[in-house]
Amino acid sequence: MVALKLVRLIEKHSGELIRELTEQIQTSKRTSDFQKIPAAELELAAAEVYRHLGEWLSQKTEDDIESRFGAIAARRAAEGIGLHQFVWALIISRDHLWHFLQREAFACSVVELYGELELHQVLNQFFDSAVYYGILAYDKAKQDKAAQGTVCRADRAGRKAALGGSLLHTVQRKFR
């Protein structure tokens, strides 16, 4: 019950939290690659989680987290965002929520303190899963790119051989 109140507090202040988070990600030296991503796009990604945090923490499954954060990670990999910077952005996102709760929510009883600790644990599990599935998606994107490079090199070699063969055939005909 207390954890739910804290989640609602985050959702209520999501606009402010999203703006602060976006600025933090775009100005941190550890996430400098994100400067090439428009602020509006980063805000939309943060809004999906922050505005619906209760749903993400209580109703979404591991498959939902894998699907969403895998897609985000694949997009960021394609945009040239380093894996270490993607992971750091997720850590910043989690810590930003926790710092907000430390500022805004004061436990006046053991029950409230337990609720805050419970939410902290659930937030950590959520972001740990997001990091894990993000890393898997980056790894898959890297493997796909390597496989695509192999196909392209093989295709170029095949075209070169074909061109070389037809060139040789043309030269042989010319000098007969």
Q: Name the pTM for this structure.
A: 0.76
The token pair that represents 105 in the structure block: 């929510």
The token pair that represents 22 in the structure block: 């976006």
Give the model's pLDDT for residue 54: 85
pLDDT at residue 139 tops 70? yes
Residue with tokens 């895998």, as numbered in its chain? 70
**What is the tens place of the pLDDT at every residue in 79-131?**
999 999 999 999 999 999 989 988 876 656 666 666 777 888 889 999 999 99
| φ, ψ of residue 135 in degrees (nearest 5) | -65, -40
User: What is the overall mean pLDDT for the chain?
Assistant: 83
Give the torsion through C-alpha atoms of 19, 21, 23, 28, to 10 deg. Answer: 180
For residues 42 and 22, the answer to whether their CB atoms sit within 8 Å is yes
**What is the tens place of the pLDDT at every residue in 12-30?**
999 999 999 999 999 999 9
Q: How many domains does the chain have?
A: 1
What CATH number should be reported for the domain holding residue 12? Answer: 1.10.490.70
What residue numbers bound the domain in which 129 lies? 2-174
Give the model's pLDDT for residue 69: 94
Q: Is 66 exposed, middle or buried (0-12, 13-18, 19+ CB in 10 A)?
A: middle
